[in-house]
Structure 1
């Protein structure tokens, strides 16, 4: 299984951080690979909500990466599962109170299948780059 994780502390309340993360329409503000995103079904941030997104793929080609919210515990835990696209990782944001703010742990897990197993190191690099964007999330939320 491919796994990536990163953690940072943001000088905002767990409720503020959760609200920002739960609304997928905020993704372009901090995730550089998101070209376009819309709410496909459900209410923003609610369990079962599905977001349709276009991501920058290999060679700059657009790829789909739609995801569904699979866990929604405001201020504490937000989980998602990618439901469309070539790679379908599960991810989670775990939030905990920290002095002056919120510690955010962002994890991604993927069980490569078929030909994807051959490009395992590339997948792990991509996942590591994705979770590393927590630094940008911190900057966006602390400057708001």
Structure 2
């Protein structure tokens, strides 16, 4: 099992930042290795909404279908990979105001490193954390302009 938690402060109002993060179609602009992401259910985003994404990680193409399993509008979204996805994972993104026009994002990732990935769980945990930190650095630069 992999558990990773990362926090970062971004100079953006919480509502604006959350709106950007909850829309999976923005993933290709800030997540390295993300090839595509598209909603497979109608909007607005709600518990039960689904999307598919294709990414490249550790030299492998990963196709994942996600479902929104928890949503507190403007504050928190949890997504879980659906059956048949390449890598079982749960991701929670929480946005909290942290002063005037500033927000703190916390991302929590829990994954089941089975099969191909099970042999390298400690290394995989470090790589996932490093990648999340890098991606949020990209998001920070993108949104703070």
Q: How far does residue 79 in structure 1 lie from its aligned partner after superposition? A: 0.7
- Counterpart contact for 1:48–1:68, Cα < 8 Å: yes
After TM superposition, the structure 1 stretch with the greater mean CA deviation from structure 2, 39-48 or 108-117, is 108-117
**CA distance, structure 2, for counterparts of residue 46 and residue 80 of structure 1:** 11
Q: How far does residue 139 in structure 1 lie from its aligned partner after superposition? A: 1.3
After TM superposition, the structure 1 stretch with the greater mean CA deviation from structure 2, 73-82 or 35-44, is 35-44
2:125 counterpart residue number: 124
> 1:85-130 CA deviation, whole Å, 9 max, x = no partner?
3211101111111023110001101233456432312431342134
2:69 counterpart residue number: 70
Q: C-alpha root-mean-square deviation of aligned residues, in Å?
A: 1.8
**CA distance, structure 1, for counterparts of residue 65 and residue 127 of structure 2:** 17
The normalised TM-score by structure 1 is 0.87
Q: Are 1:110 and 2:89 matched, yes or no?
A: no
Q: How far does residue 46 in structure 1 lie from its aligned partner after superposition? A: 2.2
Please state whether the residue corresponding to 2:8 is helix, strand or coil.
strand
Point out where structure 2 has 5 or more consecutive residues left out of the alignment. none
After TM superposition, the structure 1 stretch with the greater mean CA deviation from structure 2, 120-129 or 34-43, is 120-129
The normalised TM-score by structure 2 is 0.87
Please state whether the residue corresponding to 1:103 is helix, strand or coil.
strand
Please state whether the residue corresponding to 2:40 is helix, strand or coil.
strand
Point out where structure 1 has 5 or more consecutive residues left out of the alignment. none
**CA distance, structure 1, for counterparts of residue 142 and residue 88 of structure 2:** 26
| Count of residues in Structure 1 that have an aligned counterpart in Structure 2 | 142
After TM superposition, the structure 1 stretch with the greater mean CA deviation from structure 2, 61-70 or 11-20, is 61-70
Q: How far does residue 65 in structure 1 lie from its aligned partner after superposition? A: 1.8
Q: Are 1:136 and 2:138 matched, yes or no?
A: yes
